[in-house]
Chain A
């Protein structure tokens, strides 16, 4: 393997957390404070960018936890090979953006070093440096050069940029008169035509209407497949999955792991915000409604609480709910949704007339699902009119390990099924490719 195009070695970055405000209780205190504050302010402002050796050395141990500063990125190391498209995922505050800022040389690391072999462009925001008073044409040049293009490169791509942004008619109108959609389209168009060897992108795909987002994803895919090296930070797992073969998981400033995207996403989703219980307490509604959900729990088929299943394994969803007044024709329903928001299926209970009281119902999930994380929606209805509904409830993970060695295993297009039962039979012995 050749030298990695990006080599990140033990990068750390320390930040001061803002200076704390002190409240004055008396007039005298306030007065004294006003007089002495310049000296204090000066030392605090000065301290913002200075860290003594003790604090810097301390980042391994925890003997003296100083709350005044924070390691935004801590000992992060990874390599990226040329042409790789790598996703960076992690919860808010994990240091993803700081890492991109260090890589794009906006801010300096506190320690560690990075080697980048190639021209770098970073896209941390769409439309950086756009000036509202300037026309679309002028902003294309301004924004393009800010992002690191030369004028002749922009000249060469100008028509392409304009065509992509779909704003031909308004090219000589100041962008302050643009609709917000036109504005982001133009901004993305400029960014999409950058041609650096290394491209750093932070969560910028969520712009424009659905059609334009689709176009952006397509363009991103093109860029990714053109051999460009891309680091892509996003919370949109569908986009990460689509664009990146490998991903890095960051948490609390540390790089937890780098590996195939699907595995990393699963690690992230099953570890992060979803520090799951096997019992989820549902949001309650008051007795002004007919009833309310109470809990949702996940059980293996032998009734053990569990929320991590293998491919092909069957499991139970146990819903408990309360009915406040006599309600007829009650149906309890559970919807299964992917973390990208795609509905998978819905289970319905048999309708039943209920008196006030607590009830429960079990659903057996025997769907052949691929390795993924599933979220839930819970609904209660009377005569198919919903009186209780919640969605985006925490999840169940299907891991990529299959229950038995066979017959089920994950493939890129879902779960492989039935390949033992289905046989290939010959239709004819005509070997030519001609279709009759």
Chain B
């Protein structure tokens, strides 16, 4: 490269204490996109190294939860399941929920866990929680395979609304990223978060129509209930995959608004904490 050519393409980096509102530098994210790819590849490759069952773990977890829930909530408590067999009713939700919990938890702990990386080299910090959210997708798709098996077994097939499924998955990822980034940033400052996350996810699960249908919630509380973005997403999953109820458009719209809000709130808060991340890790 000649001197003048390098002169022209040289980026100028201006370092100074940043004050106030910061937003994501998309140009920089694009510059580093290969790194995101390799970080996700790392998480995926490392995940089941030196295990016997490997990728089967992605199915085992939601499957056995479904078995337990079917026994206790389906058989003993006789909770209704929108007129379809309880196992498939529950497993559909568990596929989404398992992904959501895993991605959020792992994103929440990711920054503290990458302390060494953060204090030794610069790269867009946002990639750390993002990696958790993206790497979790593989397990999600693996556990999806069993769902197809169950559909075949129970003779329940998706309707045309399955077209919306990618959107629902995207909303789920946005929610996981938003919450994940907020938890990751808080966790860096207050390590209490590490111990809070498991509680939070447990409470959240019962505030989401997973072991019971949304139709069980009294009509007057529905709007309030739908403020939990996972409500619309899980109900949407069931509707589009199993055709249980009419597609809950209202709920999904509320979910979408909340998911996006959470995502941007997460981004902004994370960018805020990012400035002094290396000092407190």
Chain A residues with a Cβ under 8 A of chain B: 15, 42, 45-46, 48-49, 101-120, 122, 124-125, 128-129, 131, 133-134, 138, 141-142, 145-151, 174, 197
A128 touches B17 (CB 8 A): no
Among B12, B16, B46, B50, the residue within 8 A (CB) of A113 is B16
B164 at the interface (CB under 8 A from A): no
Give the chain B neighbours of A141 by CB distance below 8 A. Answer: 38
Nearest A residue to B280, CB-CB: A48
B121 touches A104 (CB 8 A): yes
Give the chain B neighbours of A129 by CB distance below 8 A. Answer: 117, 121
A104 touches B46 (CB 8 A): no
CA distance A110 to B275 in the complex (A): 11
Among A15, A110, A120, A174, the residue within 8 A (CB) of B17 is A110
CA distance A114 to B12 in the complex (A): 10
Give the chain A neighbours of B14 by CB distance below 8 A. Answer: 113-116
B52 at the interface (CB under 8 A from A): no
B276 touches A49 (CB 8 A): yes
CA distance A122 to B119 in the complex (A): 11
A197 touches B15 (CB 8 A): no
Q: What's the minimum C-beta distance from A48 to chain B, rounded to whole angstroms?
A: 6
Seed contacts A104-B122, A134-B42, A145-B35; 7 additional CB < 8 Å A-B pairs: A42-B190, A45-B189, A108-B15, A108-B275, A119-B10, A128-B116, A142-B42
CA distance A333 to B16 in the complex (A): 56
Which of A110, A112, A113, A146 has the largest count of B CB atoms less than 10 A from its CB?
A: A146
B117 touches A119 (CB 8 A): no
CA distance A112 to B275 in the complex (A): 15
A109 touches B15 (CB 8 A): yes
Q: What's the minimum C-beta distance from B225 to chain A, rounded to whole angstroms?
A: 32
B6 at the interface (CB under 8 A from A): yes
Nearest A residue to B39, CB-CB: A142
A197 touches B6 (CB 8 A): yes
Q: Which 10 A-B pairs rank lowest in CB-CB distance, beginning with the nearest?
A: A113-B16, A145-B35, A114-B15, A116-B13, A151-B34, A105-B122, A128-B120, A107-B278, A49-B276, A133-B49
Nearest A residue to B7, CB-CB: A117
Q: A116-B15, A120-B13, A145-B38 are in contact. Are A106 and B120 (CB under 8 A)?
A: yes
Give the chain B neighbours of A114 by CB distance below 8 A. Answer: 13-16
How many residue pairs bridge A and B at CB < 8 Å? 118
B11 at the interface (CB under 8 A from A): yes
Q: What's the minimum C-beta distance from B281 to chain A, rounded to whole angstroms?
A: 10
CA distance A330 to B76 in the complex (A): 97
Q: A48-B280, A109-B17 are in contact. Are A145 and B32 (CB under 8 A)?
A: yes
Q: A104-B121, A105-B13 are in contact. Are A49 and B34 (CB under 8 A)?
A: no
Give the chain B neighbours of A111 by CB distance below 8 A. Answer: 17
A117 touches B10 (CB 8 A): yes
B107 at the interface (CB under 8 A from A): no
Give the chain A neighbours of B120 by CB distance below 8 A. Answer: 106, 124-125, 128
Give the chain A neighbours of B189 by CB distance below 8 A. Answer: 45-46, 48-49
B279 at the interface (CB under 8 A from A): yes
CA distance A141 to B34 in the complex (A): 9
Nearest B residue to A11, CB-CB: B15
Nearest A residue to B36, CB-CB: A145
Chain B positions 88-134 with a Cβ under 8 Å from a chain A Cβ? 116-123
Give the chain B neighbours of A147 by CB distance below 8 A. Answer: 121
Give the chain A neighbours of B11 by CB distance below 8 A. Answer: 118-119
Q: What's the minimum C-beta distance from A322 to chain B, rounded to whole angstroms?
A: 51
CA distance A108 to B280 in the complex (A): 12
Give the chain A neighbours of B220 by CB distance below 8 A. Answer: none
